[in-house]
Chains A and B, each alone.
Chain A
């Protein structure tokens, strides 16, 4: 019957290929020490240690202070190899230490601060205070989002009372955006370890599993090899779980992983060819013996547990070696996937995906301790997606993955999740902006989101700063003239004018209007216009490349009015019926403007494109009953 520690060891060996840890006194991995001893200090015909000076030179890394043959005999794996007598020629030791080459970290591209300042300089006029105040309020009231955007939250919170001067904060905000996105995996880690946020939506075992996975992904994202990742995780694991079995398992994995590190530059772990040494039972015994000896200098619980296990199972070396051999083969495959990233050059998203999946497969071996379920599967899948998105700088996709995780594992309402998407997308887009145009687009995407007319169609009630742009036909009454107007092009008895209209004002919008014959949601708006720039719009339609337009003053475009507007389902068109005081700016040309001689009022019907500028207030959808 397998003991608990046998299970642990089996599992440990099976996912050896991923991981590594362990600070040891010696500078060479155990494998190479074992190899040196086997090849230079071991009599293969007589199965005894030889070359005492070299042997002691190697073994002193595993013992505290000076030691003797008796100390060697106390190691159950060395016991049978210790001779009763050595020749007494002082052979110089051939044990040469080599320096392990460490893998360098991957180059991570970053945008310069100068670019950020440039972008801000060019776009600050496009930002508005209201947006940032809302943003700050949203972050403040949602801990989950605060955790995901910690730096942004901190800056907005600090600048709370000074957001009117938001331009000052834009450079650091932009940096904060980028930093928060880059570190989103860390934030997700903090999120799932936040009891207030997760509550009962995640079991402790699920949390531990996903936490380990995230730590692994964070390290891979930074270009670390899975071997170093395990080394890193093994140090952090006590903070993730108090389950000693899990801690032991990772400790053991890392111990063995470190012991099998390759001394060449190409591979992290020893090659399958080198692993053939394990076919030599005596080599394996020396190797395990060195591991055992290494543990004797530690007082760590896991070390003691592993030492105890080895001591009690010293006759099962063959079984362990079989597993080591199969593990090394799969470790080599993982090595290849990782090497592709580490070697540099252009990496595809799939390369990271492959590396992550290889690592996850290995971490998946921990299933002896973790119960995989839908939550875990979901979390892992979307964490992988998040990792690859972050590596590819697909920050918008990353926001969406974070959204899915929030949706699954937090109690955030749909409305707040929608807000998260809105602000998250803003952050992502600004971070990815390469020039002022792109930053402008990012800001406009929030201030004037494409398809934002849908908001009023799909929401119960909405207030917006709105513009409409289109054609009208109507009746004008000029002050001082009883009927009609001679200046219009065509005369009708009652409908005496037509042209381009572009009123701008406040709209009170009622959405989600579905009727029997109307398939899609409609909206009905009460629109109060303040200005009408129809004449200017007409000029721009005809001369959109002109750089200069004649001077237009505010008084020329003032056009207060009231309209009843019908939003036409899934189209940006709206049909309006309204009454307004007409703007005196009648026509714009490249040389001069034409103004009305008198003030006038207009009753009109218009077909326009619905252009919300800023949604000032939106009442959520009516709940489905």
Chain B
């Protein structure tokens, strides 16, 4: 990422501190390539954030401006649409007690907005082609969902529960899961890690008993909320709703648009328990610049994030809860959807009002 110097600044070598040595004065209008992250350092005029370049020089962010502008709140419309910032402020709840397992394509290990939230990660498959698989996301989908659920909001506001603990289970490289045993193993791992929520933005048209059983175990025995996307419409496809969302113990999530109507991307099914924004949702992918994506994956991530806030609030308040409690809170405190009265749109504010 490049920054443009707006007021004359000194290059600080090795640390974002005024005491760090400086050998160069940067003129207004100069462009500097930095790594895109903001680092805490000495405060100058109430601004403590510093940029850093590849060789460890620091630049005070008050004197420079990112050439690529930071994400505006208005662009991540869903946050305001769901009044998420009000939850953060009013209830001082950012999900710090919630543990969420994200079963997806891994995460961007170079993005501190994500890495700072990841507690643990694991890969659940081996390359059939004999290639080395790392936790690093090569698709971007896993990172996108992670940044929606628990992005740290350091550089851009993307995360719903920015203080939640993320458990990354890599179940595929490029967005498709070879077999159900991979998902089953990941759920077992999530159970073992005592997560509160398992978020699955995946789905297939075929059921699997093993998958159903492990979800039942997670929900019934370990009080883990399992959130899954109902499925996206795909042209020329017969567009059947997906498993595991179709399982009774899963919260099946559909998508809405900015007009709070059912989105065209979502498969409509009576099993859909709740809908959430699913169009043009900004999140990180393979770069450090947020990118918009659409689909029930994003909607499921938002529901997971909202549930994380709720569960964390329960924990922070010392209150007990069950999966059913959360499901009831979600469904009974939802908004109606204009163009489809049988469907409901998640309402975090109402949920928190009724906690």
- Using a CB–CB distance below 8 Å, which chain A residues touch chain B? 42-53, 56-57, 59-60, 63, 66-70, 83-91, 93
User: Is B74 in contact with chain A by the CB < 8 A criterion?
Assistant: no
Interface range on chain B (Cβ under 8 Å from partner): 35 or more
Q: How far is the CA of A452 from the CA of B232 in the complex (A)?
A: 89
Q: Which residue of A lies closest to B263 (CB)?
A: A90
Provide the residues of chain A in CB contact with B104, threshold 8 Å. 87
Asked if A43 contacts B235 (CB within 8 A), the reply is no
- Taking a contact as CB atoms closer than 8 A, the residue among A43, A50, A53, A69 that contacts B204 in the complex is A69
User: Is B128 in contact with chain A by the CB < 8 A criterion?
Assistant: yes
Asked if B178 contacts A84 (CB within 8 A), the reply is yes
Provide the residues of chain B in CB contact with A90, threshold 8 Å. 232-234, 265, 294-295
Q: How far is the CA of A48 from the CA of B141 in the complex (A)?
A: 16
Min CB–CB distance A218 → chain B (angstroms): 41
Q: Which of A53, A56, A69, A90 has the most chain B CB atoms closer than 10 A to its own CB? A: A90
Asked if B105 contacts A87 (CB within 8 A), the reply is yes
Stretch at the interface among B3-11, B53-61, B169-177: B169-177
Q: How far is the CA of A51 from the CA of B236 in the complex (A)?
A: 14
Asked if A86 contacts B131 (CB within 8 A), the reply is no
Provide the residues of chain A in CB contact with B75, threshold 8 Å. none
Provide the residues of chain B in CB contact with A68, threshold 8 Å. 205, 237-238, 240
Known: A59-B236, A88-B231. A47 touches B144 (CB 8 A): no
Chain B at the A interface: SS class: loop
- Taking a contact as CB atoms closer than 8 A, the residue among B174, B206, B233, B295 that contacts A50 in the complex is B174
Min CB–CB distance B243 → chain A (angstroms): 8
Stretch at the interface among B150-158, B296-304, B336-344: B296-304
Asked if A43 contacts B173 (CB within 8 A), the reply is yes
Asked if B176 contacts A46 (CB within 8 A), the reply is yes
Asked if A88 contacts B236 (CB within 8 A), the reply is no
Min CB–CB distance A75 → chain B (angstroms): 15
Q: How far is the CA of A4 from the CA of B177 in the complex (A)?
A: 39
Q: Which residue of B lies closest to A82 (CB)?
A: B176
Cβ contacts A to B, 5 pairs, < 8 Å:
A63-B236, A67-B237, A86-B176, A87-B295, A90-B233
Q: How far is the CA of A68 from the CA of B242 in the complex (A)?
A: 12
User: Is B95 in contact with chain A by the CB < 8 A criterion?
Assistant: no
Ranked nearest first, the 9 interchain pairs of A and B with the lowest CB-CB distance are A83-B176, A60-B236, A43-B174, A89-B295, A85-B204, A88-B229, A50-B174, A85-B177, A87-B175
- Taking a contact as CB atoms closer than 8 A, the residue among B180, B202, B300 that contacts A86 in the complex is B202
Q: Which residue of A lies closest to B128 (CB)?
A: A47
Provide the residues of chain B in CB contact with A85, threshold 8 Å. 176-177, 180, 183, 202-204, 242-243
Q: How far is the CA of A315 from the CA of B165 in the complex (A)?
A: 47
Q: How far is the CA of A537 from the CA of B109 in the complex (A)?
A: 110
Provide the residues of chain A in CB contact with B133, threshold 8 Å. 45
Q: How far is the CA of A55 from the CA of B175 in the complex (A)?
A: 12
Q: Which residue of B lies closest to A52 (CB)?
A: B234
Q: How far is the CA of A126 from the CA of B208 in the complex (A)?
A: 94
Extra inter-chain contacts (16) besides given A85-B177, A88-B203, CB under 8 Å = A45-B127, A46-B172, A47-B128, A48-B172, A48-B178, A50-B175, A51-B175, A59-B236, A85-B243, A86-B176, A86-B202, A87-B141, A87-B201, A88-B232, A89-B232, A90-B265
User: Is B129 in contact with chain A by the CB < 8 A criterion?
Assistant: yes
Min CB–CB distance A339 → chain B (angstroms): 37
Asked if A83 contacts B178 (CB within 8 A), the reply is yes
In the complex, chain B residues 271-327 whose Cβ is within 8 Å of any chain A Cβ: 293-298, 300
- Taking a contact as CB atoms closer than 8 A, the residue among A50, A60, A83, A84 that contacts B235 in the complex is A60
Binary A-proximity of B188-205 (CB < 8 A = 1, otherwise 0) = 000000000000011111
Q: How far is the CA of A387 from the CA of B294 in the complex (A)?
A: 62
Asked if A70 contacts B231 (CB within 8 A), the reply is no
Min CB–CB distance B314 → chain A (angstroms): 28
Asked if B202 contacts A88 (CB within 8 A), the reply is yes
Min CB–CB distance A215 → chain B (angstroms): 38
Q: How far is the CA of A546 from the CA of B144 in the complex (A)?
A: 102
Q: How far is the CA of A52 from the CA of B176 in the complex (A)?
A: 8
Provide the residues of chain B in CB contact with A59, threshold 8 Å. 236
Q: How far is the CA of A85 from the CA of B103 in the complex (A)?
A: 12
Binary A-proximity of B226-253 (CB < 8 A = 1, otherwise 0) = 0001011111111110110000000000
Asked if B176 contacts A87 (CB within 8 A), the reply is yes
Asked if B242 contacts A88 (CB within 8 A), the reply is yes
User: Is B179 in contact with chain A by the CB < 8 A criterion?
Assistant: yes
- Taking a contact as CB atoms closer than 8 A, the residue among A48, A57, A70, A93 that contacts B176 in the complex is A48
Q: How far is the CA of A437 from the CA of B154 in the complex (A)?
A: 96
Min CB–CB distance B326 → chain A (angstroms): 21
Known: A45-B133, A68-B240. A89 touches B235 (CB 8 A): no
Min CB–CB distance B102 → chain A (angstroms): 12
Provide the residues of chain A in CB contact with B183, threshold 8 Å. 84-85
User: Is B125 in contact with chain A by the CB < 8 A criterion?
Assistant: yes
Q: How far is the CA of A274 from the CA of B46 in the complex (A)?
A: 59
Provide the residues of chain B in CB contact with A69, threshold 8 Å. 204-206
